[in-house]
Amino acid sequence: MTQTKHSTSSTAVYGSEEMVRPAPTMTIPEDMTTPEIAYRMVKDETYAQTQPRLNLATFVTTYMDEYATKLMNEAIAMNFIDQTEYPRVAVMAARCINILANLWHTPERGDSKAGATAIGSSEACMLAGVSHWLRWRKRRQKEGKDATRPNLVISTGMQVVWEKFAQLWQVELRQVPLTRQKRTLSAEDAVAMCDENTICVVAIAGVTWTGLNDDVEALDRVLGEYNERTGYDIPIHVDAASGGFILPFVSPETRWDFRLRGVASISTSGHKFGLVYPGLGWVVWRDKALLPDEMSFSVNYLGAEVTQVGLNFSRPAAQILGQYYNFIRLGREGYRQVQQNSMEIARYCHKRIGAMECFENYSADVVNPLFVWCLSDEWQRSAKWTLYDLQSSLQQSGWMVPAYTLPASIEDIVVMRIVVRQGMSRDMADMLLGDIERSVKELDALKYPTSSRQAYDDKAKQLGKVFTH
């Protein structure tokens, strides 16, 4: 019978009993182990994954400088909502909201702008959607009209959070199809879906599927004319998860924010191009009148009266410190330099990939530090592989470059996407491009079609067409 031995501080990590047993999956272990062994077991679990900075699928920040990382690590135990013990964190959060509101040209006067902290841009979108739903319902009830059939208008290029919002709050989601001819939200098509029950129209600055921006200024004009003609008061929410931290620095002349009268709220992600580790989001309203009182919850928490707008109560404070640090450390010019470098590298990759005979870029321009491309017509017809095979090949070199189909109505288009974030250098881009060229050469040399190519052809035959871009 084998005698169980217990690890001690002198036990070599890979000489320990834990290293020859499977990791716990169903029940908590009976005995303790040393911190070194526990650390190594968890760390080893992550080795098979793509390293974060080689993950070009994610928008999430994977690099912060050592002082930002140190600051956030030192604040890891702080609960943002515990304002009795950590009152200055709430002050910094309010300062961040003011900075964003002014960055987005708020017309609101005073030293305290209307906004909220969120875990990410998804919660920020939820909060904005709820605010428009509550305002619409209150207005309908005041007028003695039916308030049971709200709807929201958005393009099919939306993030899944809007589908969740519609399900949770029982709001009809009216989706404007994207097409090959209309690759962003059509203002005219969006307004055609509006009626007296529309709580808002959502425009997207930085569509995750394609990297493109909806034309918010055109939507503001067309929707403004519609409101004036009908007497309705349908506002615009801008889902600027990516664009909120890109447009002000790389395209300050573009009118997409509170400079447009119809824009009532804007949400963004601090942990994307806000350059903060996850998770952090922000939402700002045009003025306090657009933030319903019902959304502010006040409770006596540990001796302090805490008023909060949010779906979550407890939340980490470290990310707020990280955001405020970035504002101080980088300033407007620092953000401009970082975002401009990301744009430059994205445009470099866009140009190089577009020049490869087998590929075609989905759009001619790069308006955010990300873009998508597809197979050219000739390769689409004759290649023995698909972009899914290219994705798998690049993974073998550590890169995560996703292949996927575009939204409904253009779901026959298979694309790949690169997101360029802080931490991506020109040398890294050249390494990636070299691996893409090598992978394409190997795939072109295949004698027989891959399983994904066979599945692609089978589906095309089933639908009676050949998929193209």
Q: What is the pLDDT of residues 213-237, one digit of tens each?
A: 999 999 999 999 999 999 999 999 9
- In whole angstroms, what is the distance from residue 120 CA to residue 348 CA? 30
Q: What is the mean pLDDT of residues 121-141?
A: 97
**DSSP-derived secondary structure letter, 310:** S
Question: What is the pLDDT at residue 465?
Answer: 58
- In whole angstroms, what is the distance from residue 418 CA to residue 399 CA? 10
- In whole angstroms, what is the distance from residue 231 CA to residue 236 CA? 16
Q: Which amino acid is at 193?
A: M
pLDDT > 80? residue 347: yes
pLDDT > 60? residue 133: yes
Identify which of 158, 202, 214 has the alpha carbon closest to the alpha carbon of residue 406: 158
CB atoms within 10 A of CB 271: 22
pLDDT > 60? residue 189: yes
pLDDT > 60? residue 4: no
At residue 2 the predicted structure's pLDDT band, cuts being 50, 70 and 90, is: very low
Q: Give per-residue pLDDT as tens, 386-442.
A: 999 999 999 999 999 999 999 988 988 999 999 999 999 999 999 999 999 999 999
Q: Which amino acid is at 350?
A: H
Range list of β-strands (E), 315-434: 359-361, 370-375, 403-405, 414-419
pLDDT > 80? residue 303: no
Q: First CA to last CA across the chain, in angstroms?
A: 65
Q: What is the mean pLDDT of residues 161-181?
A: 97
**Is the pLDDT higher at 304 or at 339?**
339
- In whole angstroms, what is the distance from residue 215 CA to residue 254 CA? 10
The model carries a pTM of 0.90
Q: What is the mean pLDDT of residues 21-46?
A: 84
Question: What is the pLDDT at residue 468?
Answer: 44
Q: What is the mean pLDDT of residues 163-170?
A: 97
pLDDT > 60? residue 304: no
Question: What is the pLDDT at residue 300?
Answer: 59
Question: What is the pLDDT at residue 24?
Answer: 86
Q: Give per-residue pLDDT as tens, 320-334.
A: 999 999 999 999 999
Question: What is the pLDDT at residue 363?
Answer: 96
Tokens of 417: 């996407």
Identify which of 199, 212, 183 has the alpha carbon closest to the alpha carbon of residue 371: 212
Q: What is the mean pLDDT of residues 175-201?
A: 97
Q: What is the mean pLDDT of residues 347-358?
A: 97
SS (H, E, C) 88-133: HHHHHHHHHHHHHHHHCCCCCCCCCCCEEEECCHHHHHHHHHHHHH
Beta carbons within 8 Å of 131's beta carbon, 6+ residues apart: 265, 285, 290, 291, 292, 295
- In whole angstroms, what is the distance from residue 411 CA to residue 406 CA? 5
Average pLDDT, the chain: 91
Beta carbons within 8 Å of 216's beta carbon, 6+ residues apart: 203, 205, 236, 238, 255, 256, 257, 260, 263
Rg of the chain, C-alpha, whole Å: 25
Find out whether 269 and 59 touch, Cβ atoms under 8 Å.
Answer: yes
- In whole angstroms, what is the distance from residue 245 CA to residue 312 CA? 24
Range with lowest mean pLDDT among 18-32, 261-275, 370-384: 18-32
φ, ψ of residue 146 in degrees (nearest 5): -60, 130
Question: What is the pLDDT at residue 463?
Answer: 67
Question: What is the pLDDT at residue 27?
Answer: 87
Identify which of 34, 30, 32 has the alpha carbon closest to the alpha carbon of residue 15: 34
3-class SS of residue 78: coil
3-class SS of residue 83: coil
Identify which of 168, 263, 181, 282 has the alpha carbon closest to the alpha carbon of residue 223: 263
Q: What is the mean pLDDT of residues 203-211?
A: 97
Question: What is the pLDDT at residue 226?
Answer: 98
pLDDT > 90? residue 261: yes
Helix (H) or strand (E) segment spanning residue 250: helix 247-250
Identify which of 39, 33, 40, 45 has the alpha carbon closest to the alpha carbon of residue 4: 33
Question: What is the pLDDT at residue 469?
Answer: 37
Beta carbons within 8 Å of 75's beta carbon, 6+ residues apart: 89, 316, 317, 318, 321
